Amino acid sequence: MVRQQLRPGDTLDGFLIGEKLHAGGMASLWRVTKPGIDVPIVMKVPTILDGDDATIIVGFEMEMMILPRLTGIHVPRCFAVKDFAKQPYIVMEYIQGHSLLTILDDAPLPPAQVAEIGAKVAAALVDLHRQNVVHLDIKPSNIMMRDSGEAAFIDFGLSRHLALPDLLEEEFRVPMGTGPYISPEQVLHNRSDPRSDIFSLGVLLYHFATKVRPWGLPKFNRTLRRRLWRDPVPPRKLVPAIPPWLQEVILRCLEPDADQRYPTAAQLAFDLQHPDEVRLTERATRMERSGFFKTLRRRFKATALESRPRDPGELPVSSAPIVLAAVDLSDGMERLATALRAEAGRVLASVPGVRLACVNVLKLNRIGLNYPLDHEGRNIHVNRLVELKEWARPLALKSGDVTFHVLEHSDPATALLEFAKSNNVDQILICARASSNLRRYLGSVSSQVVAEAPCTVTVIRLPQGSGAVYEAAAAPSDVPLTLP
């Protein structure tokens, strides 16, 4: 990877770099221009290349996948993307307007203004959800109000496209989102429910109406979990001028159980625009939080939800089997890596609809420091990601048919097994290095994967003086081979 240090006046792929508009810990925004593009545009460049947060790298990859597929007034128009092989960036429309963050300090806002803002954001959610995208990071700084009046979303780094692989869900096991706005489903690692965005919008409406965040500023997972059972103080207790119908709407959005919220953003938008039509329940007149016994029942229910395994019926429906290619990019493994790619190509050609997950494990030290940069100052995680894509390039796969994952773990076999189990992998392709006394004593990654994998495992070996040999090994439950 060759990284270019951007400066005003530089040119990158035909884009003339202008002033830097923003410099954050995750990305920088530069004003850019290019002949033939007659609208204001900006270039978003990740700054993670100097850090070690893998989630931001994967999140930028997700945004590069999702944003070019979106259309309409409620998202910025995308003009170009470039991956991590050289200088990664996204060039998008510069939205003329202001973010909702600029009016947050004016809260509490008049109820009519709260409803007007909420209706516009809900209308934008309707359009986004119709394009099979759940934003999953709805908050004031990610919502722009155009000068023409419409709400538009920015920053899709945590988003989920229901027709694309979810790299964040597949690689990480922590709740993804912004603490005050994260939904109960996200706390439970479910990133596929559009009603999560309705919950987050409910948090935003509560804050605009009361100047208080319903669950404060949680910083730890244990405080995030409270929203699974603890309802917020009713808004009208904090600001009596809030009309009952608006409290009804806000508290319905904030129900811990998604089935008790608005089923669609369209219904929420309708209620916010037609207050006289809102059907009032006990939520409208509530002045206290739920009592001890009701809260206790919710807590028991939440504990049961947290402890049970995810039901496959909750996951996005997909008929495409997943094949995991465990790619070893170490020096001296080039012949095995080539043989592994050949076997992956054979599987892809034999079974329709297969998705190939290319996985490399960045081994961490069990004891001592782990450095994110190599001796030349390059981010090791990003370099591995680039090498993994180069390994798969000869397969000429379309976006969506192949995904790339660099896992950071002290035990490569455990990392591969956890990935396979949590993502319902159908088959693992893995190379076995040549035998040695040390490996016989300590055990090998491939033998542990064969012994513990929940699916079929194909092991590729290179005996001395011969071509690749493939050994198919079933999982311990003796599940028969489902793929060639």
Active site residue ranges: 137
Structure tokens at 432: 């076995």
Residue 45 to residue 48: CA distance in whole angstroms: 9
Q: Answer whether 428's CB lies under 8 Å from 449's CB.
A: yes
Q: Which residues make beta-bridge pairs with 458?
A: 429, 472
> Reading across the β-sheet that carries 78-82, which strands appear in turn?
11-12, 15-23, 27-33, 41-46, 89-93, 78-82
Residue 340 to residue 352: CA distance in whole angstroms: 19
Characterize the bridge pairing of strands 427-431 and 322-326: parallel
Q: Kindly give, in sequence order, each residue whose CB lies less than 8 Å from that of residue 463, ignoring residues fewer than 6 positions away.
A: 469
Q: Answer whether 108's CB lies under 8 Å from 161's CB.
A: no
Q: Answer whether 396's CB lies under 8 Å from 291's CB.
A: no
Q: Answer whether 252's CB lies under 8 Å from 282's CB.
A: no
Query: What residue has token string 């931001």?
Result: 56
Residue 283 to residue 251: CA distance in whole angstroms: 7
**DSSP letters for 361-382:** EEEPPSSS---SB-TTS-BHHH
Structure tokens at 263: 């089923």
Number of helical H runs and strand E runs in the chain: 16, 17
Query: What residue has token string 């089923």?
Result: 263
What letter represents residue 89's amino acid? Answer: Y
Is the peptide bond preceding residue 480 cis, with omega within 30 degrees of 0?
A: no
